[in-house]
Structure 1
Amino acid sequence: MEFRLLGPFEARHEGHPVEIGSRRQERCLLGVLLLDAGRVVTTDRLIDLLWNGSPPASARGAVQTYIGRLRGSLTPYEVRISTRGHGYLVEADGHRIDVEEFGDLVRRASAAADPAERVRLLDRGLALCRGPLLADAADDELRDRLQGTVEELRLVAVELRAEAQLALGQHARAIAELVPLAARHPTREQLVATLMTALYRGARQADALRLYRTTRELLVAELGVEPGPRLREVHRRILRGDDRLDRPGRPVYEVRVRDESLPWSVGGHPALDFCNTFAGWGHEPPLPGAEWLRGYRTLAVWAGHVGLIDDVSVNRLLHLGRRDPDQADAVLTETRRLRTALYACLTDPDDRPAFDTVARHAEAAAKLLVFRRDADGRGRWWPDLAGGLRLPLHASAWSAAELLADPRRFTVRSCPDERCGWLFLDESGLRRWCSLGTCGRPAARSACHSA
């Protein structure tokens, strides 16, 4: 079966429309279950959503009746609605749901290095959006409660596509798509920054500057904050006529090393920056664009960039990675697991399994450390080349162990926004850097907590 929720509710079997639910509320209930396909939705939540918090006394019985009718309609098509505890779930049996397909396309696009491929994937994804979520089954109040994640994903998709269009020199198309969106979301700074860049490339510098002024005034008046670092940087470069804004394919906040796109080092310690190679720690599945460590090459270049290994080692690793890509991918996967364990150590001091995981990796790294003295007489421990492709893993583990043994780890702060989660040595770092390329909103609005 194929279910379409991004617009009027539709169900299809082998390409042919299927009538499901004779009542609007039945289709709405099914839509709610499909948005969480494979997960239980409690009866209480279904009642709250279907009647907008003001259910009649007969609501529980009505939900049971709706479920019975939907089961009768869906059983011939092998769609199962199961009762689990105090709720129901649609079994994830391989049925196509446009919301899930949209999310998958956006995630694939965010990982694509080729901007043309990114545009192609996002065009496919955004074409699935035929209108408001459950346009003919949900009212505006319910839609506002349901579509938060879906709407955010759509905005991310448009932003990603616009940035890819800029990389391809298609600034006119980006402007046409972003102008109406910016009018609806005037304080979304990443969107505004991308539109300002597109306007500048389209020889509309005055319009770009007016947009910045309007956005700044709105942020100050409504939220009491100044624009974030990225928006201010775009504004500064437009004023200076910086030619980097005319150069396609380079977000102004990124670091390019050996043709790899890396995040800025803002944590104050390599082990924190290791955790900050991922944005969206509080969100599952990972948000589009959250992963910086897209491949082993990126890992090796990043380790060299933050000083965990030297240039000779980076060159060697890039050579080994080309010769044995499967082993390189395996090391990358293990490195991401180490990163997850380290993040848990820094955000939950009682997570003993996480500490044990980091300790095991640090012990393995310690066996391959060599002491080297610099020209000024100072020395440090370096991971030996004998570690092969595991070298950046060992280097990251040793850096993690050093941080966990450092009293400064008790001052670590994390952004609580699920779109971010980046770590900083203190609150001032969070306020300065958080909104740049992670959660996308001024960090001053977000409370922080001790790790």
Structure 2
Amino acid sequence: MEFRLLGPFESRHEGHLVEVGSRRQERCLLGVLLLDLGRLVTTDRLIDLLWNGCPPASARGVVQTYIGRLRASLTPYGVRISTRGDGYLVEADGHRVDVAEFGALTRQASDAADPAERVRLLDRALALWRGPLLADAADDELRERLQGTVEELRLVGIELRAEAQLALGQHARAIAELIPLTARYPTREQLVATLMTALYRGARRADALRLYRTTREVLVNDLGIEPGSRLREVHRRVLRGDDRLDRPGRPMYEVRVRDESLPWNVGGHPALEFCNTFAGWRHEPPLPGSEWLRGYRTLAVWAGHVGLIDDVSVSRLLHLARHDPGQAEAVLTEARALRAELYACLTDPANGRAFDVVARHAEAAARTLVFRREADGRGRWWPDLAAGLRLPLHAAAWSAAQLLADPRRLTVRVCPDEHCGWLFLDEGGLRRWCSLGTCGRRAAQAPCRSA
């Protein structure tokens, strides 16, 4: 079976439409299960979502009735809804869900070095988008709770595709696609910066400058903030007529998740990525070696991206940070200090003080861990949400402790380039630089030193 959740709910078997769920809540319930295809969803969570936290006394019986109807509709097509404990799951069994396919294609595109391949993958991903998630079965509030990252992932995909189009010299296509989006999302600086670059390349310098002025007015008047460093830098280059804006194919060694720029993954372990401080090679500014932990939001998104916490925890942390920015900033400062001590541990094994600091953080993290077993029987330790805003700090500390106790620590290397210093695992003893695409050319004569 093929299930389409991006837009109105739709199910198909061998290309033919299949009517499933005569009631909106039935389709919504099935959509929730399909978003976690192959994983258990508890009855309490289904009830909470379907009735938005205010269920009737009969809610549990209603859910059981819906499940029975859905089983009757789907069993003839080989779709199994299993009961496990106090919950349900749709067995994977090779069924396709467009949300999962969309995410997989977007992640593949993010990792693709060739801009033409990136455009091809993102064209396929964005073609799956028929509208908001479960457009005919969920309201906006429920949609945000179900999968608030889907819309964000779509925007990231559009931004990635536009940057790849610029690398291929397709600025006219990028302009046509980005203009309506920047009107809808006027504070999304990544979109604006890319559109300004495309306009400049299309000999529309005045339009690019006008767009910057409009965006700055919205940011200042509505949010009370000035544009970020990247948008200001694009504006400066447009004003100067900088020829670097005309150069297609400039590599971007960064990963963008939830509109956050994270370090390019070269370390091979989350604790190493935590130490690799530069996101976005060949950006000006910032210079190599600069800070990527610009805010607490970046820390939380990074922890989710490298798998130290789950997406639900990331969304919860972003919500908490908006309501308590002072505490969020204090945790961020502590995380930066932990990162410096971990880097010292990995590059100077004789630094006992640094090891003691990391150990104390790891001990605090260990007290927050809870064991969760997945539907397939496997399990792992996760930092508990009860840790609040300190959750990503605990997650990073626990990951650091695991690496320091692992024999692989002896294979950690330091990139020899004086402007880099990134850490990476070299278990085969063959790598000489963190990434040949970034600084390897300059460091070609210098061997990496063991950390």
| TM-score above 0.5, yes or no | yes
Structure 2: which 5+ runs fail to align? 255-262, 267-271, 281-291, 293-297, 311-346, 348-391, 415-423, 435-446
Q: Within 5 A, what are the aligned runs for 1:243-392?
A: 243-250=243-250, 272-273=275-276, 280-283=301-304, 347-348=396-397, 352-357=401-406, 360-363=407-410, 388-391=429-432
Secondary structure of the 2:187 match is coil
- Shift in Å, 1:87: 2.1
Alignment match, 1:222:
222
1:31 equivalent in structure 2: 31
Residues 33 and 41 in structure 2, CA contact (< 8 A), matched pair in contact too: yes
Asked if structure 2 preserves the Cα contact closer than 8 Å seen for 1:362 and 1:397, the reply is no
Structure 1 residue 31: deviation in Å? Answer: 0.6
How many Å apart are 1:78 and its aligned residue?
A: 2.1
The aligned counterpart of 2:123 is 123
Asked if 2 retains the 8 angstrom alpha-carbon contact of 1:361 and 1:397, the reply is no
| Structure 1: distance between partners of 2:431 and 2:265 | 24
Aligned to 2:6: 6
Q: CA–CA distance in 2 between the matches of 1:25 and 1:177?
A: 35
1:405 aligns with: none
Describe the SS at the equivalent of 1:12. Answer: strand
Question: How far apart are the structure 1 equivalents of 2:409 and 2:135?
Answer: 54
Q: How does 1:82-121 map to 2 (within 5 A)?
A: 82-121=82-121
Post-superposition offset of 1:264 = 13
For 1:5-47, what per-residue CA distance to the aligned partner results, in whole angstroms no more than 9, with x for missing partners? 1111111111111111222211111011111212222222212
Cα distance in 2 for partners of 1:66, 1:113 equals 46
Distance 1:350 1:22, change over 3 A: closer
CA distance in 1, matches of 2:186, 2:149: 19
Residue in 1 that maps onto 2:386:
none
Shift of 1:253: 8.5
Superimposed CA distance per residue, residues 136-181 of structure 1 (whole angstroms, 9 cap, x where no aligned partner): 2223332233341110110011111111111111111111111111
Contact 2:253-2:279 at 8 Å conserved across structures? no
Residues 174, 198 of structure 2: 8 Å contact kept? yes
Question: What's the secondary structure of 2:44's corresponding residue?
Answer: helix
SS at match of 2:303: coil
Range with bigger deviation, 183-192 or 219-228: 219-228
User: Corresponding residue for 1:59?
Assistant: 59
Change in 2 beyond 3 A, CA 1:276/1:136: same
Identity of aligned residues (%): 72
Deviation for aligned residue 1:214: 1.8
Which aligned pairs between 1:353-432 and structure 2 lie closer than 5 A? Answer: 353-357=402-406, 360-363=407-410, 388-391=429-432, 398-399=450-451
Using a 3 Å threshold, how does the CA distance of structure 1 residues 354 and 131 change in structure 2: closer, same or farther? same
3-state SS in 2 of match to 1:130? coil
CA deviation digits over 1:395-436, x for unaligned, max 9? 88944xxxxxxxxxxxxxxxxxxxxxxxxxxxxxxxxxxxxx
Indicate conservation of the 8 Å contact 2:52/2:142, yes or no: yes
- 1:194-218 Cα offsets, whole Å, 9 max, x none, are 0111111111111111211222222
Report the Cα distance in structure 2 between the residues aligned to 1:270 and 1:53, rounded to whole angstroms.
38
Separation in 1 of the partners of 2:30 and 2:112? Answer: 34
Say whether the 8 Å CA contact 1:345–1:355 is kept in structure 2.
Answer: no
How far apart are residue 3 of structure 1 and its match? 0.5
For the 8 Å contact 1:106–1:122, the answer to whether it is kept is yes
* Structure 1 unaligned residues grouped into runs of 5+: 255-261, 288-307, 309-342, 370-382, 400-451
Aligned to 2:48: 48
Structure 2 letter corresponding to 1:361: R
State the SS of the aligned residue for 1:239: helix
Preserved contact between residue 106 and residue 157 of structure 2 (Cα < 8 Å) = yes
| Alpha-carbon shift at residue 238 of structure 1 (Å) | 0.6
State the secondary structure of the residue aligned to 2:227.
coil
CA RMSD of aligned residues (A): 3.6
Deviation at 1:4, TM superposition (A): 0.6
CA positional deviation for 1:100:
0.8
Taking the TM superposition and a 5 Å limit, the aligned residue runs for 1:99-178 are: 99-178=99-178
> Aligned-pair distance for 1:392?
5.1
Distance 1:128 1:37 in 2: 18
Separation in structure 2 between the aligned mates of residue 219 and residue 139 of structure 1, nearest angstrom:
28
Structure having greater relative contact order (Cα 8 Å, sep ≥ 6): 1
Question: Structure 2: which amino acid aligns with 1:193?
Answer: A
The superposition leaves residues 205-249 of structure 1 with CA deviations (integer Å, 9 ceiling, x where unpaired) of: 111112112222222233232211111111111111000101112
Counterpart CA distance in 2 for 1:193 and 1:244 is 14
Quote how far apart the aligned CAs of 1:66 are: 0.4
Q: Is the 8 A contact 1:197 1:234 kept in 2?
A: yes
Which secondary structure does the structure 1 equivalent of 2:430 belong to? helix
The CA distance in 1 between the partners of 2:136 and 2:398, in whole Å, is: 48
Instruction: Indicate how the Cα distance of structure 1 residues 398 and 227 shifts in structure 2: closer, same or farther if over 3 A, else same.
Output: farther
SS in 2 for 1:137: coil
User: Which residue identity lines up with residue 80 of structure 2 in the other structure?
Assistant: R
Q: Distance in 1 between matches of 2:186 and 2:33?
A: 32
The Cα of 1:350 is off from its aligned counterpart by 8.6
**What is the alpha-carbon distance in structure 2 between the residues aligned to residue 63 and residue 11 of structure 1?**
20
**1:270, 1:137 → 2: CA distance?**
40
Deviations 1:315-350 (A, max 9, x none): xxxxxxxxxxxxxxxxxxxxxxxxxxxx99993169
Letter in 2 for 1:347: A
Counting matched residue pairs gives: 316
